[in-house]
Amino acid sequence: MRFSIDGPTTIHGSISVSGAKNEALKLLAAALLADAPVRIDRIPDIEDVHRMVEIVEQIGVTVSRESGALAVDGTTCRTSELPSALVPKLRACLVLLAPLLVRFRTATLPWPGGCAIGRRPIDLFLEGFDAFGITMEELEGAYRFHADGLHAARYVFPVVSVTGTETLLLLAVRTPGTSVIENAAMEPEIPALAAFLNACGARITGAGTPTITITGVDRLSGGSVTCIPDRIETGAFAALVAACGGDLEIRDCAPAHVAVPLKLLASMGATVAADDAAGVIHVRAVPPLHAVPFRTHEFPGFATDLQPPFTVALTQATGVALVHETIYEGRLFYIDKLVKMGAAITLCDPHRCIVEGPRRLHGTSLESPDIRAGIALLIAAACAHGRSTIENVYQIDRGFERIEERLRGVGVRIQRE
């Protein structure tokens, strides 16, 4: 399966944002802690969600599908051994360890997978689990965790970790006593997860700040929750306009979650108007914009997942700008593909590159290495002259729902072949 894109394109019209992938996956894990079914609305129809559903179904969880929603009954879960055939495809399944350890006091995890974007050590999980009294034995190709001594704890993350914060949050919710997570991640998906858990009976304060306090409860009721808008998708659509030029209304989004990228766009010369109450962003860009450097940082900074799309936008801007990727050392290893298309980018080291523009990109054959680089290549193809093909579109499908249909609606000439 591949995408075929004919460029260049001028973007116009409106596009709606899907539910957040990174929240949907954690809500599926959280549902296993509840003593009654949980309904998740605005669930994105993407491959990563499909894989997570497959994984929980294989351990006995009952999942009912409706249009745009999932009903999840974690009470039918029958085993804490995660399936070795599926886990390597989805690193986010690490969060399932928390509810499984709470329910079964043991869990087995094959080596996890996900995007190949550099070292994403499991050490943070092991140290956090150790603080909560969980022990681990390393087997051939798997970890086995034991939670017979599970207890409340105070844990300070040495490095901010989103998935680590979410996992310890889920672990502490039904662990007796008061737990404190310090140097916690503050991404919007975390307070959204905490708000859902609190609605089910949890006692969590401070989510969205560096210090989260959790008082364990005996049980959680079921309930319903709606996924927040996907801020990475929102930012990618904004970067698409910056790269191609045009006028786009981005609907059903949360402008406050992408405040820093929007500020960058405005400083590049785009016209940006955001209405938080209406959940709408209007972006207008007349090429060429001018180059502005940026660096990634944990929220509320510039999201690492938005670095690739905005690097593409810089290839079409006038001037020279430094891109500093501070989170993952492998996230710049897609730029050779942009250079192949005609971009003038110098890789300084695994964390920094210099982009000089504007450069006329030309269509070529490409392969998507991961979700975020994949959408960046798609944006590059949309502003390039001629036809591009992108192989391995599964990587894009992991995080973007029906992307070709939605982009066709705003002027991109794209086909799935």
- Contact assessment for residue 267 and residue 260, using Cβ atoms and an 8 Å cutoff: no
Amino acid 114: pLDDT:
46
Task: Specify whether the CB–CB gap between 163 and 208 falls below 8 A.
Answer: no
Comparing 2-18+229-416 with 21-226, is the CATH topology the same?
yes
- Peptide linkage before 191 cis (omega within 30 of 0): no
> How far, in Å, CA of 48 to CA of 65, rounded?
15
Tokens of residue 46, six digits: 């993407």
- Cβ neighbours for 138, distance < 8 A, ≥ 6 positions apart: none
In tens digits, the chain (417 residues) has pLDDT values of 899 999 999 999 999 999 999 999 999 999 999 999 999 999 999 999 999 999 999 999 999 998 899 999 999 999 999 998 888 888 888 999 999 999 999 999 987 554 444 444 567 778 999 999 999 998 888 889 999 999 999 999 999 999 999 999 999 999 999 999 999 999 999 999 999 999 999 999 999 999 999 999 999 999 999 999 999 999 999 999 999 999 999 999 999 999 999 999 999 999 999 999 999 999 999 999 999 999 999 999 999 999 999 999 999 999 999 999 999 888 899 999 999 999 999 999 999 999 999 999 999 999 999 998 999 999 999 999 999 999 999 999 999 999 999 999 999 999 999
The pTM (predicted TM-score) of the whole model is 0.95
Domain topology for 21-226: UDP-n-acetylglucosamine1-carboxyvinyl-transferase; Chain (3.65.10)
Rounded CA gap, 232 and 170, in Å?
A: 23
> What token pair was written down for 178?
């008061």
Q: Which residues are 180's β-sheet partners?
A: 154, 213
Could you give the CA distance from residue 410 to residue 246 in angstroms, rounded to a whole number?
A: 10
Residue matched to tokens 């110098």: 346
What is the DSSP code (8-state) at residue 290? B
Domain ranges of the chain: 2-18+229-416, 21-226
The set of residues, in sequence order, having a beta carbon less than 8 Å from that of 48 and lying 6+ positions away, is 21, 25, 90, 92, 398, 399
> Is-contact 212 24, C-beta < 8 A?
no
CATH entry, 2-18+229-416, from 2.40.40.20, 3.65.10.10, 1.10.10.10, 1.10.1740.10: 3.65.10.10
Per-residue model confidence as pLDDT tens digits over 316-343: 999 999 999 999 888 899 999 999 999 9
In terms of C-beta density within 10 A (0-12 exposed, 13-18 middle, 19 or more buried), how is residue 22 classed? buried
The answer to whether 89 touches 67, Cβ cutoff 8 Å, is no
- The single residue of 77, 93, 115, 383 carrying the catalytic annotation is 115
Provide the residue type at 343 as one letter. A
In 3D, which of 269, 328, 262, 321 has the Cα closest to residue 296?
328
- Which residue matches tokens 């971009």? 343
| Alpha-carbon distances, residue 1 vs 56, 88, 254, 393 (angstroms) | 27, 21, 32, 6
115 is known as an active-site residue: yes
Structure-token pair, residue 305: 């997942």
> What pLDDT score was predicted for residue 121?
54
Helix (H/G/I), strand (E/B), else coil: 279: coil
Query: What is the distance in angstroms between the CA of the first residue and the CA of the last residue of the chain?
Result: 6
